[in-house]
Amino acid sequence: MLYIIGLGLADERDITVKGLEAVKACERVYLEAYTSILMVDKQRLEAFYGKPVLVAHRETVESDSDEILRDADRVDVAFLVVGDPYGATTHTDLVLRARQRGISVKTIHNASIMNAVGATGLQLYNFGQTVSIVFFTDDWRPDSFYDRIAENARLGLHTLCLLDIKVREQSIENLMLGRQIFEPPRYMPASLAAQQLLEVEATRKTGICTEDALAVAVARVGSDDQLIRAGSLRQLADSDFGAPLHSLVLVGSRLHLLEADILRENAIDLDSLNAILKRNFDI
């Protein structure tokens, strides 16, 4: 059996009982380490599981899946994914490869940012399409995600923005020279995401992601030091929300009175938030 197991959001204790039982029964345990991260290292996982954990980077999963699937028709193998296996990303390619080889697959789900974002107080039914925001570079500033934000905005829906992480990235020079030297990991903060949204707005001029637009920064969801702060995009762009991982939510015009009340509890500055709610939402 190949088990695809969600780990939840924060640390080694977030795995479900069913997931932990499966891990303990597996001969090999792989940790997918490129779409998201837990807030603890693999040594903490190994101590909790009582099993060695093999880190599976992107190249392993995409180019060497045969090793992950080796003997999985005869023994149990676990593939661990931070959050839920089918939340922010999918691993359907690995599942399809397993089934093509006659390997049974079982998925064990868990919490992901896709549903835990409800901690903001914004109703999940009022969310539209989720978008991903990547790090801008000097010569690469993709903004196609903005079209999805605009579509959500036209329907009055909130937008969850998933923020870029860079793990085992190589510089152009090292890549060209074939050197296995990797840059330090980087995790986009909500403040930078807000800055990039304001930059795109300056070009698009749609009036959706203005400095006065209401947004919510979410940091370290599910951990003991989880942080949620609501304010204008300009306030978010100028704030520090601490250690990763971060997400950002753009608030849609269908904002309900109860949603607004919880945003007030998490306001960066209550007076300015009330002014935004009055001006933009008449609440």
Is 163 known as a binding-site position?
Answer: yes
Q: Would you say 113 is a known binding-site residue?
A: yes
Q: Is 91 annotated as a binding residue?
A: no
Q: What secondary structure, in 3-state letters, does 216-240 show?
A: EEEECCCCCCCEEEEEEHHHHHCCC
Determine whether the annotation assigns residue 177 to a binding site: no
221 known member of a binding site:
yes
Let me know: does 117 contact 14? Beta carbons within 8 Å. Answer: no
Question: How would you classify the pairing of strands 186-187 and 165-166?
Answer: antiparallel
On whether 17 is known to bind a ligand per the annotation, the reply is no
Q: 85: closest CA among 1, 5, 3?
A: 5
DSSP designation for 184: P
Can you say how many angstroms the Cα of residue 112 is from the centroid of all Cα atoms in its chain? 8
Whether 273 contacts 238, CB under 8 Å: no
Both tokens of 115, joined, read 């549903």
| 96 has binding-site annotation | no
Residues comprising the binding site for S-adenosyl-L-methionine?
Answer: 9, 84, 87, 112-113, 163, 221, 246
Residues comprising the binding site?
Answer: 9, 84, 87, 112-113, 163, 221, 246
